[in-house]
Structure 1
């Protein structure tokens, strides 16, 4: 099967920054998780920052893969995940489908600045200016229908 969905993953110090765009199928979701596992700095405490502002949803079966990925992350030194989803509807679907985690572990934000502030307060300093995927966001703008 062809991979559906686009993403970019970069580690900034000990923050794994992931940006997603488009509609994801199971193959796309598995490929993102594989790259995440390969890039995560699991030899130290780390945190995740996911920018899903260009994410156009995922298939129901691929959303059901998220809890397993989060369990892997938390079992491998991840101290928290900040997820940026500006759309209230997408945020609700994402939260309902991807497992219930306490808000000190998995937190949702409507903008990048709030997510960066939360991570910084948790001891993983990162600021909006360090966000590495601006070019990818521009390129993936054609996905966004908002």
Structure 2
């Protein structure tokens, strides 16, 4: 089946940066997970920064894959995950569907600056200027008429 959804994954020191856009199906979600597993620096403590501001949701079945992805991350040296998701509605759906993790481990933010400040305070220094996917975010921004 065809992959739905777009993403970009990079490492900034020991921070796995993922940016997502569009609507994801199971195949897209699993492909992101495989690339995450291949890229994550699991040999040392690491953190995740996910920018989902252009994420347009996922199928119900693909959202059910998220808790397993997070469990894998935390079992493989991930210490915390910051998620940028400005839409309160999408945030609520994302939180309800992807498992409840304590805010000390998984926290949602409305912008990159807040997420970077939180990660830096958790011992994973990063600035908004270091965020590597601004071109991807601009390219995938939904056009609102």
Give the equivalent residue in structure 2 for 1:25: 25
Q: Equivalences for 1:1-146 in 2 at 5 Å? A: 1-141=1-141, 143=142, 145=144
Structure 1, unaligned stretches of length 5 or more? none
Looking at structure 2, the residues matched to 92 and 62 of structure 1 have their Cα atoms a distance apart, in angstroms, of 16
What are the ranges of 5 or more consecutive residues in structure 2 without an aligned counterpart?
Answer: none
Q: Separation in 2 of the partners of 1:140 and 1:68?
A: 27
The number of equivalent residue pairs is 145
Give the Cα separation in 1 of the matches to 2:24 and 2:143: 14
**What is the distance in 2 between the residues matched to 1:117 and 1:34?**
28
What's the offset of the Cα at 1:139? 1.1
- Counterparts of 1:96 and 1:77 in 2: how far apart (Å)? 24
C-alpha deviations, 1:44-97, integer Å up to 9, x for none? 000000000000000000000000000000000000000000000000000000
Cα RMSD over matched residues?
1.0
Compute the TM-score of the two structures, normalised by the length of structure 2: 0.98
TM-score calculated relative to the size of structure 1: 0.97
